[in-house]
Amino acid sequence: MTPGSSPPQWDLYPGMPCWIELITTDAERACEFYAGLFGWEYRLHRDPEAGEHLIALHDGFPVASIRAASGEHSVWRLYLATGDSAATAEEATRLGAAITVPRNHVSGLGTKVVLMGPSDAEFGLLEPEEGWQFDVGLPGTLMWAELVTIKAQTADVFFQELFGYDHEQFGTEGRSDYSVWYLGEESVLARVSMIREFISAHTRPHWLLYLGVDRARGTDEVVREAIGLGGRVRVDPYDSSIGRVAVLRDPTGARFAVVDPSQAGNFGTAANFDPYDD
């Protein structure tokens, strides 16, 4: 793809990842970090209903939003597509979720709602506007996402009932239990069961978002650059079925993974190397 050209178009089905959002305790520091690491630029977006936030752009196309946290923790949030946010949120609550951020409309993006799923991990729903754009599958953009949870079977049942995912199981329960969720033949997400030896009283389920790395730089170089920008390494680079992966925290504490898909190798997931807690 030529930088500055129109991104490829694809059909957006309910349940597909369609937006990511960084909720951060220090937006200025976070912006500096991701600009240095991925070349992101930012556009200030003011909305009377949704408030003020930043849209991150990569090669001119939207890739994420950055919003100030109301609490003491920074976290990346994943949004899944829906054609009717009210109806899907109602169905999610019937299946055991609870709304944590009520529905609100963000001009240029769509209508959002955030829920806590029955597997104890927060996720968002987005009913995109007609002009919605979200660049994925390229360096500096979302490549993959995994739900890392203690309640693996609960997560499988909930999301399969909510969006009709098919799934393929890898590994064994209690050790390397990994489920890939599909819409038709398209893999859209994965669920990872937390390894029991790593679980403590402070362990919390979470989404791990993977951002792409240019093969010319490679994952190892990006990790070195992240450290120089104030980030921290949680999992050193290793080879996996989706590419060479490392897990980082940005300077404000938000956890994310980087992946160079050109280096895909043996099966593995960062969640099985991540101790979950600092």
Q: Which whole-number Å values give the CA distances from 7 to 4, 63, 138, 178, 227, in the listed order?
A: 9, 12, 10, 31, 31
Q: What is the pLDDT of residue 131?
A: 83
Q: What are phi and psi of 43, to 5 degrees?
A: -125, 125
Q: What are phi and psi of 137, to 5 degrees?
A: 80, 15
Q: What is the pLDDT of residue 177?
A: 81
Q: What is the pLDDT of residue 2?
A: 37
Q: At what angle do helices 85-94 and 152-163 cross, to 10 degrees?
A: 140
User: Which fold would CATH assign to domain 142-272?
Assistant: 2,3-Dihydroxybiphenyl 1,2-Dioxygenase; domain 1 (3.10.180)
Q: What is the C-alpha separation between 82 and 255, in angstroms, rounded?
A: 26
SS3 string, the chain, reads: CCCCCCCCCCCCCCCCEEEEEEEECCHHHHHHHHHHHHCCEEEEEEECCCEEEEEEEECCEEEEEEEECCCCCCEEEEEEECCCHHHHHHHHHHCCCEEEEEEEEECCCEEEEEEECCCCCEEEEEEECCCCCCCECCECCEEEEEEEECCHHHHHHHHHHHHCCEEEEEEECCEEEEEEEEECCEEEEEEEECCHHHCCCCCCCEEEEEEECCCCCHHHHHHHHHHHCCCEEEEEEEEECCEEEEEEECCCCCEEEEEEHHHCCCCCCHHHCCCCCC
Q: What is the pLDDT of residue 169?
A: 81
Listed as ranges, residues in the chain with pLDDT below 50 are 1-9, 173-174
Q: What is the pLDDT of residue 207?
A: 95
pLDDT above 70 as % of the chain: 87
Q: What is the pLDDT of residue 264?
A: 73
Q: What is the pLDDT of residue 275?
A: 58
Interval 183-231: pLDDT, tens: 988 899 999 988 777 677 777 889 999 999 999 999 999 999 999 999 9
Q: Which CATH class is domain 17-128?
A: alpha beta
Q: What is the pLDDT of residue 269?
A: 63
Q: What residue ranges of the chain are covered by domains with CATH 3.10.180.10?
A: 17-128, 142-272
